[in-house]
Chain A
Amino acid sequence: MATSTPSTARRPGRNRSVEATRSRTAIWLLLPTIIVLALVAGYPLLRTIYLSFTEYNINTDPAPKGIGFDNYAFRLDDGTLSGLLTDPQWWQAVWTTVKFTVSSVVLETLLGLGMALVINSKFRARGLLRTAILVPWAVPTVVSAQMWNWMYQDNFGIISQWGRSLGLLEAGQSFVANPNTALGALVAVDVWKTAPFMALLILAGLQSIPSDMYEAADVDGASKVRQFFRLTLPLLTPALLVALIFRTLDALRVFDMPYIVKGNAPETMTMSIYARQQMIDNAQFGYGSAVSVLIFLIIMIFTVIYVTSLRVRFD
């Protein structure tokens, strides 16, 4: 711990040594987190990267066998390339995941922003809304996925019944069974579930904007719209960015909701579902690990794009 002598600030020599002590303290504050993350998150990650360079069927092989990059790509006898990087099913899963992520994150951010702005303004019944919007997100995914699955069910599902009475669906059909609308139906579930998460994060950001700034803007005669774009949005950016990054990361790895509703169906197979299929259903551990490593890389690229293009500042 740093000393608490009151006069240190005036003496540069002492000051530097105090600064050094403070930096050392900072490292000790950081260390426990780094150790836990390295053990529980870092170790399995490195192990999976190692396994991606091996052939390992967990049912038949006693131990992983090193095969270099063959899981990713290798040349067949006739000279054509094969492996994960040439697998159309994999690229289909990538494309599905990207479509899912972009549409759900955009809708969730806009809806979440709207909700947060409404909750933040003074009006009747805001307490009701405050409680209500938290509920969908607080319902465990296992429950909400089953719940929506049931509402989407083709015969007795209530959404299908509405769809039929509106003339959007024919008898025996459902939005989630039709390959053309299935992904959209899943995005709707995800938006319903996760817009409250965005609203909560944005609301916390809104609350920390000092109200005297708005008073000053009112005095200057700035319109509400102008205040939103010139004042609210810029001040909200840091909170919004953190929310966006974590939301995008989770959406790119989405697994449980689409898996519970659609299983291994190709039209809604996300990258994580594909990885599970290779690893668990096909017992191809090395190949499945290679899939996981590619997902890791794709998500890393997304994050780098976010951090650089939106200029997340760290200090």
Chain B
Amino acid sequence: MTTTSTSPAVRARRGFHTRRWLLTLLTYLITAVFLFPLAWMILAAFKTEAQAFATPPVVLFTPTLDNFHRAWGAYLPALTNSLVAALGSTLLAFVLGLPAAFALAVYPTRRAQGVLTWMLSTKFMPAVGVIVPLFLLFRNLHLLDTLPGLILMYTTMNLPLVVWMMHSYLTEIPAAIYEAAKVDGASVGQEFFRIALPLSMPGISATALLALIFAWNEVFFALNLTSSAAAPLSVFIGQFKTSQGLFWAQLSAAATLTVLPVLVFGWIAQRQLIRGLSFGAVK
């Protein structure tokens, strides 16, 4: 920017600095508020039960690893199940949903709107309302308490979201790009792999993150469709609560172990995600 006189520019810059500091301060404040409950829980995981229930709350104490020792045995199988179910279902939801969203966005027929609404309608019924027919269906297909069963369930749960989100991203790609490709004689497959896929990468990474976390956190279907062999982490936590009574410190340790992979993944993903978001700008 070229300025004729210096004083307004300096004043503007000073104002900008103050705003930036306020913003930074506000950020720390919001972050603290949002992270407090979690920090409080992780702290409790290292306390004894008596310390966890103390009034006023104990902040300084000698940390113990007993709670983690007790939770560890059941943790690893549940962690494996959660990882397989979340990653497998997200992958499958994209393998199925991305071509579907592409078809609806790039070749819209009169039925496209109906198909999208119909997909959404599978999310109108509460989970408890469909659980018994679903249980019987899974029993007949021998999918109860199996990982393929859980993957199928979570894929179904996330498919409408994947199709809707990807549809909204894919429609943002200017039609002229497809027209140009068509004139050059591109096939549908080429349009999909050469245009739609690379240009919707930011949308894919954001949507995949949503689908992963939805699958990771799901508890109702997991509780009803698995018992032991395929039980994911959400069931592992639940078992802790019912079999042990309300042992808060121990529950906190189990919960901390459940949250840990998400924290690690989230820390890696947010960098990738934002990079993907900013690189993939469509226009």
Binding site for B on A (CB under 8 A): 1-9, 22-23, 25-27, 29-30, 32-34, 36-37, 39-45, 47-48, 51, 58, 115, 118, 121, 123-144, 146-148, 150-151, 155-156, 158, 161, 192, 196-197, 200-201, 203-204, 207-208, 210-211, 238-239, 242, 245-246, 249-250, 253, 255-256, 271-272, 275-276, 279-280, 285, 288-289, 291-293, 295-296, 299-300, 303, 307, 314-315
Would A48 and B125 be within 8 Å (CB), given that A3-B187, A135-B263, A139-B38 are in contact?
Answer: yes
Check if A238 sits within 8 Å of B248, measured CB to CB.
Answer: no
Neighbour of B123 across the interface among A29, A127, A147, A249, CB < 8 A: A249
Would A314 and B281 be within 8 Å (CB), given that A44-B130, A44-B133, A292-B129 are in contact?
Answer: no
Complex Cα gap A249–B37 (Å): 26
Check if A204 sits within 8 Å of B277, measured CB to CB.
Answer: yes
- Tell me the smallest distance from the CB of B166 to a CB of chain A, in Å: 10
Check if B134 sits within 8 Å of A197, measured CB to CB.
Answer: no
- Tell me the smallest distance from the CB of B20 to a CB of chain A, in Å: 5
Would A29 and B100 be within 8 Å (CB), given that A150-B248, A203-B277, A207-B278 are in contact?
Answer: yes
Check if A128 sits within 8 Å of B27, measured CB to CB.
Answer: yes
Check if B107 sits within 8 Å of A22, measured CB to CB.
Answer: yes
Say whether B229 faces chain A, with CB atoms less than 8 Å apart: no
Judged by DSSP, the binding face of B is helix
> Could you pull out 21 A-B pairs where Cβ atoms are within 8 angstroms?
A1-B189, A2-B187, A33-B97, A36-B96, A37-B122, A40-B137, A44-B134, A44-B137, A48-B130, A138-B263, A139-B259, A147-B38, A151-B37, A156-B54, A161-B57, A210-B283, A275-B128, A279-B128, A280-B128, A296-B124, A300-B121
User: B residues 211-237 with Cβ under 8 Å of A?
Assistant: 213, 216-217, 219-220, 233-234, 237
Q: Which residues of B contact A118 (CB under 8 A)?
A: 23, 26-27, 30
Complex Cα gap A203–B209 (Å): 13
Neighbour of B220 across the interface among A32, A48, A256, A275, CB < 8 A: A256
Q: Which residues of B contact A315 (CB under 8 A)?
A: 105, 108, 112, 171
Neighbour of B210 across the interface among A3, A39, A200, CB < 8 A: A200
Complex Cα gap A3–B164 (Å): 29
Q: Which residues of A contact B195 (CB under 8 A)?
A: none
Check if A299 sits within 8 Å of B124, measured CB to CB.
Answer: yes
Say whether B144 faces chain A, with CB atoms less than 8 Å apart: no
Complex Cα gap A141–B214 (Å): 10
Neighbour of A40 across the interface among B34, B107, B156, B172, CB < 8 A: B156
User: B residues 237-283 with Cβ under 8 Å of A?
Assistant: 237-238, 241, 248, 251, 255, 258-259, 262-263, 266-267, 270-271, 274, 277-278, 280-283
Complex Cα gap A115–B26 (Å): 11
Check if B125 sits within 8 Å of A148, measured CB to CB.
Answer: no
* Residue interface mask B183-209, A partner, CB < 8 A = 1: 111111110000000000011001001
Check if B129 sits within 8 Å of A48, measured CB to CB.
Answer: yes
Would A43 and B133 be within 8 Å (CB), given that A204-B206, A314-B113, A315-B112 are in contact?
Answer: yes
- Tell me the smallest distance from the CB of B203 to a CB of chain A, in Å: 7
- Shortest 5 CB-CB distances between A and B: which pairs? A292-B129, A41-B122, A44-B133, A47-B133, A26-B107
Complex Cα gap A124–B19 (Å): 11
Check if B234 sits within 8 Å of A142, measured CB to CB.
Answer: yes
Check if B213 sits within 8 Å of A246, measured CB to CB.
Answer: no
- Specify the chain B residue showing the minimal Cβ separation from A6: B185
Complex Cα gap A121–B26 (Å): 13
- Tell me the smallest distance from the CB of A155 to a CB of chain B, in Å: 6
Complex Cα gap A2–B190 (Å): 10
Q: Which residues of B contact A288 (CB under 8 A)?
A: 128-129
Say whether B40 faces chain A, with CB atoms less than 8 Å apart: yes
Say whether B132 faces chain A, with CB atoms less than 8 Å apart: yes
Check if A131 sits within 8 Å of B220, measured CB to CB.
Answer: no
Q: Which residues of B contact A300 (CB under 8 A)?
A: 121, 124
Check if A276 sits within 8 Å of B152, measured CB to CB.
Answer: no
Complex Cα gap A124–B169 (Å): 30
Would A272 and B127 be within 8 Å (CB), given that A44-B137, A141-B217 are in contact?
Answer: yes
Check if B238 sits within 8 Å of A142, measured CB to CB.
Answer: yes
Say whether B55 faces chain A, with CB atoms less than 8 Å apart: yes
Check if A8 sits within 8 Å of B37, measured CB to CB.
Answer: no
Say whether B115 faces chain A, with CB atoms less than 8 Å apart: yes
- Tell me the smallest distance from the CB of A36 to a CB of chain B, in Å: 6
- Tell me the smallest distance from the CB of B71 to a CB of chain A, in Å: 13
Complex Cα gap A228–B219 (Å): 39
Complex Cα gap A300–B124 (Å): 7
- Tell me the smallest distance from the CB of A292 to a CB of chain B, in Å: 3
Say whether B155 faces chain A, with CB atoms less than 8 Å apart: yes
Check if B122 sits within 8 Å of A140, measured CB to CB.
Answer: no
Q: Which residues of B contact A27 (CB under 8 A)?
A: 103
